[in-house]
Amino acid sequence: MNRLTGKVALVTGAGRGIGAAIAHAFAREGAAVVLAELDMQTAQATCHEITTQCPDARVTAVRTDVTSATSVREAVVDAERLFGPLDVLVNNAGINVFCDPLTMTDDDWRRCFAVDLDGVWNGCRAVLPGMVERGRGSIVNIASTHAFKIIPGCFPYPVAKHGVLGLTRALGIEYAAKQVRVNAIAPGYIETQLTRDWWNGQADAEAARRTTLELQPMKRIGQPDEVAMTAVFLASDEAPFINASCITIDGGRSAVFHD
């Protein structure tokens, strides 16, 4: 319960799903946590849940639009003013944009990349100067198995996620000598509200759920907490030599050649 004691972390998109689970886990492990979230209603609700479960937690929410470099820089300034220099950044904010390539609009393309790739770069660019100056820091980018696998009908989302993996590796090498580590986590199917919403949007929600589970080698999908604890590991001092790497959390699904 003290793997992150003394550390200050900022988590983007922390109002719900994987981001909220990471914020909860970081607080349980002793970190001061800033939830950088566009939807302040969900962010405040998550903050309340964290403080209810961990009364001594140091946690706050800051309205942040990851598509705006200025907004992200301001979130970092606010976080450091309140809790001190940032030790950890988790770039979790993301959106699903799935289109037919030839009918996709320019706005769809820009919206996908503005959040899913530019948003990650905006976060990295905001925290790297301080981390480099202090000679320490851990950045964890939430990528996806879409970063190395292609599912038809999901364009351009996997293009952006491939970019996140490239960004992770490039920055990890660029700043390795400064003791700033940059890693990624690639979740597969995780039971978030977005996943449940997709099931519920099908003609037979229960059949859609069963089909998804049957495709998984472990016959279940992951839980947000299972991603969160990997983020804790990468953010902690237990992973000092893990850098420019990606940890896949998909129960083995991406290792399957065919169904």
157 noted as active-site residue: yes
CB atoms within 10 A of CB 109: 17
Q: How many residues does the chain have?
A: 259
Cβ distance 124 to 163 under 8 Å?
Answer: no
pTM, full prediction: 0.96
Residue 185 to residue 234: CA distance in whole angstroms: 9
Q: Domain limits of the chain?
A: 8-187+224-248, 193-221
Q: Quote the crossing angle between the two packed helices 69-83 and 118-134, to the nearest 10°.
A: 40
Lookup: tokens for 26? 């970081």
Per-residue pLDDT of the chain (259 residues; tens, 9 = 90+): 799 999 999 999 999 999 999 999 999 999 999 999 999 999 999 999 999 999 999 999 999 999 999 999 999 999 999 999 999 999 999 999 999 999 999 999 999 999 999 999 999 999 999 999 999 999 999 999 999 999 999 999 999 999 999 999 999 999 999 999 999 999 999 999 889 988 999 999 999 999 999 999 999 999 999 999 999 999 999 999 999 999 999 999 999 988 8
Which residues is 36 bridged to in the sheet? 12, 62
Which residue among 155, 157, 175, 189 is the active-site one?
157
Fold of 8-187+224-248: Rossmann fold (3.40.50)
**Residue 16 per-residue DSSP state:** S
